[in-house]
A and B are shown apart, each in its own frame.
Chain A
């Protein structure tokens, strides 16, 4: 049966991870761009543009991890030990980054926490990319447990995906600042968006070419008739977004580049979905292999169906409350 509980939950977890990337991506990207701001006032502005929403954004990461634990416990039990080092580094990096939002205002010399904010954001993004690459490469499983070594996650491919996520998040951050600010910093970030956008697209291109070559299974998903007719929609969508992205920057539009940059991530994410399905932990475990019993899936689904729309509604409301250009004089500290 196709539309069973495990399938629905795979969709929901994918949705949570994608929402995390959409929401926290620009927020980490701002951290990555932090050292390149021209003045302390610019840095204050950049940080304040995400201060009211960052903890909500990171909660989607908890839902991604907690949700995996809840509905695909075996996947959680296999992936976490396999990615022990990148996950641990990511968590520690998020600690540094998260507390910088408050600590930065409590000291005379912001320098230390500026570095913590940049370093934490950069490392968290890098580790997320590496984790993604390591998962795409495949994880060795024997007898319901991870059976590879500590450094299996480290490969040229995972480094490539790591760098791609860092650059991509920086792009999201830059276009977010274009949306939220005016004057000098906006001009600077618009210029940066151009280069970051080009770099992101080149990296997405390389990864898209390499992935089908990693494993013949991935190759088949993309290049077999009549399936290819569907999968070709993905690159076509991408082309449309690329057009809109660069014309948006040229016409000095505020919102369009940000939305297109998010679009790059969404389309890439769909692309990964095409490669993966129906695997949860490639190359051996499918969605159904790792799913919890139906009684667990159903119980958790009730909560998800009721609460996720409510969460989306008040998240949207919070963004609406803090909409518009930043006022440099505002802040509660």
Chain B
């Protein structure tokens, strides 16, 4: 089935596949953990039952997403060794300790306090329960911090030397952890996680508002989510711009691929809004351009010269088409999110935020957009780092484990089948929970409200599935 592919290609596909699946869950759970902490704190402060209902509702969804994140994360921690053992040996002395810090300071914090957050409100009392909830949220943020430090070091390595067996050896841990691209990438990703969560929460709120405009929980969560979207999106676009400028400084080839600049522009480069990269002819076909805009954005001067991929040796070039398209998907969705946020502000000012079906439908449509944008963003930055694992220092083709192609192919197929089955089922269960009103007493299907004993195989009718006028 996968004959003819090299072990390198298969291992790359396998890593891309497992890490893409994995990032979906943290992108959601980082934001959701903080949202839960806020809901619980607001409940304790105001004693408004709406917050408690929302907390209980999202807590159950969080548990399923978190479970998927844990198991897909365990896979990641072994994948470096099984498929990228040369990378592990060479970069291990630097990358390894950072990942160990992630496990020690974050995974344990989340996992240790999660049980108390989910099961323990009655057992430990409200104060300790609040503390556990906050620790889970803090743990997810710590986890993001360390893993982004690792990834950023691979993008912009610093503070190292190379020893006699070819390993990267730490010289200055401060420079390693706070490497040049780390602060930008961290801010960009954490905001992305918050935004992704707020779009999901907003979509679920909008769904229930479409069915019942008076649903108190739906109103509360939709309002909170739209505040978040309206405030965070502009910040995110600003942070993304700074991140791009940082990339231009340290990884210019990546920016050239993002911009689709095959050629250098000594007198000001155009911004290519859309087009189709043609790698053979080394040009962008059907390009729609704004003259000088790229120089204006990247150099803050309309006629500033910008180098193109013609200044980069061919064997150091990233694959242009993937980077070019994924970058446009991310930016396009970012502006759509901005549009939704502004629309919600307008509706709020007009007093129609809870009654405008068009806004609610738009919010539902935008529900998954955060995940797509996160994936597109990661594809841009990771594919843009190619052909290196440690940028400029260690090539991907030299990082590979000595495992033969058929073994990699077999495990790749196994991962694809299992991930689609298992995480497909999980996503289905999450969507089904989201489809129920927050005030539904028990979301687990089996222990839901009393049902007719099933003699007939016909699907059972759940009143929550029927939209209300």
Q: Indicate whether B82 reaches chain A with its CB closer than 8 angstroms.
A: yes
| Residues in B neighbouring A150, C-beta threshold 8 A | 403-404, 407
B73 nearest CB neighbor, chain A only: A62
| Residues in A neighbouring B411, C-beta threshold 8 A | 84-85, 88
Q: Is the interface of A mostly helix, strand, loop or mixed?
A: helix
Instruction: Decide yes or no: A98 and B102 within 8 Å by CB, A52-B118, A81-B82 being known contacts.
Output: no
Given A99-B425, A145-B89, A295-B93: 4 more A-B contacts, CB < 8 Å: A63-B100, A87-B78, A98-B67, A293-B169
Q: Indicate whether A165 reaches chain B with its CB closer than 8 angstroms.
A: no
Q: Are B429 and A59 in contact (CB under 8 A)?
A: no
Q: Complex formed: what's the CA distance from A84 to B108 in Å?
A: 26
Interface residues of B in 150-188 (CB under 8 A from A): 163, 165, 167, 169-171, 173
Binds A, one of B109-117, B375-383, B387-395: B109-117
Q: Complex formed: what's the CA distance from A221 to B173 in Å?
A: 40
The count of chain A contact residues (Cβ–Cβ below 8 Å) is 68
**Interchain nearest-CB distance for B26 vs A (Å):** 14
Binds A, one of B314-322, B329-337, B438-446: B438-446
Partner of B81, one of A55, A80, A101, A311: A80
Q: Indicate whether B237 reaches chain A with its CB closer than 8 angstroms.
A: no
Q: Indicate whether A318 reaches chain B with its CB closer than 8 angstroms.
A: yes
| Residues in B neighbouring A65, C-beta threshold 8 A | 74, 77-78, 81
Between B66, B81, B107, the greatest number of chain A beta carbons within 10 A of the residue's beta carbon is seen for: B81
| Residues in A neighbouring B119, C-beta threshold 8 A | 51-52, 322, 331-332
Interface residues on B, range: 35 or more
Partner of A79, one of B80, B81, B105, B433: B81
Q: Complex formed: what's the CA distance from A99 to B64 in Å?
A: 8
| Residues in A neighbouring B102, C-beta threshold 8 A | 66
| Residues in A neighbouring B105, C-beta threshold 8 A | 303, 307
Q: Are B432 and A106 in contact (CB under 8 A)?
A: yes
Q: Are A55 and B114 in contact (CB under 8 A)?
A: yes
Partner of B89, one of A144, A299, A307, A318: A144
Q: Indicate whether A238 reaches chain B with its CB closer than 8 angstroms.
A: no
| Residues in B neighbouring A102, C-beta threshold 8 A | 63-64, 67, 426, 429
Q: Are B112 and A94 in contact (CB under 8 A)?
A: no
Q: Indicate whether A160 reaches chain B with its CB closer than 8 angstroms.
A: no
Q: Are A70 and B89 in contact (CB under 8 A)?
A: no
Interface residues of A (CB under 8 A from B): 51-53, 55-56, 58-59, 61-63, 65-71, 73-74, 76-81, 84-85, 87-88, 91-92, 94-96, 98-99, 101-103, 105-108, 110, 144-147, 150, 292-293, 295-296, 299-300, 303-304, 307-308, 311, 314-315, 318, 321-322, 331-333
Q: Are B64 and A69 in contact (CB under 8 A)?
A: no
Q: Are B67 and A73 in contact (CB under 8 A)?
A: no
Number of cross-chain contacts by CB at 8 Å = 254
Q: Complex formed: what's the CA distance from A51 to B432 in Å?
A: 22
Q: Are A106 and B81 in contact (CB under 8 A)?
A: no
Instruction: Decide yes or no: A69 and B99 within 8 Å by CB, A87-B82, A106-B429, A150-B404 being known contacts.
Output: yes
Q: List 10 A-B contacts (CB under 8 A).
A: A56-B114, A59-B70, A66-B77, A69-B81, A70-B92, A77-B86, A77-B89, A80-B401, A81-B403, A99-B68
A93 nearest CB neighbor, chain B only: B418
The 5 closest A-B pairs by CB, nearest first: A73-B92, A80-B81, A52-B115, A70-B96, A70-B100
Q: Complex formed: what's the CA distance from A293 to B169 in Å?
A: 7
Q: Are B444 and A71 in contact (CB under 8 A)?
A: no
Instruction: Decide yes or no: A91 and B75 within 8 Å by CB, A69-B80, A84-B411, A314-B113 being known contacts.
Output: yes
| Residues in A neighbouring B66, C-beta threshold 8 A | 55
A90 nearest CB neighbor, chain B only: B78
Q: Indicate whether B339 reaches chain A with its CB closer than 8 angstroms.
A: no
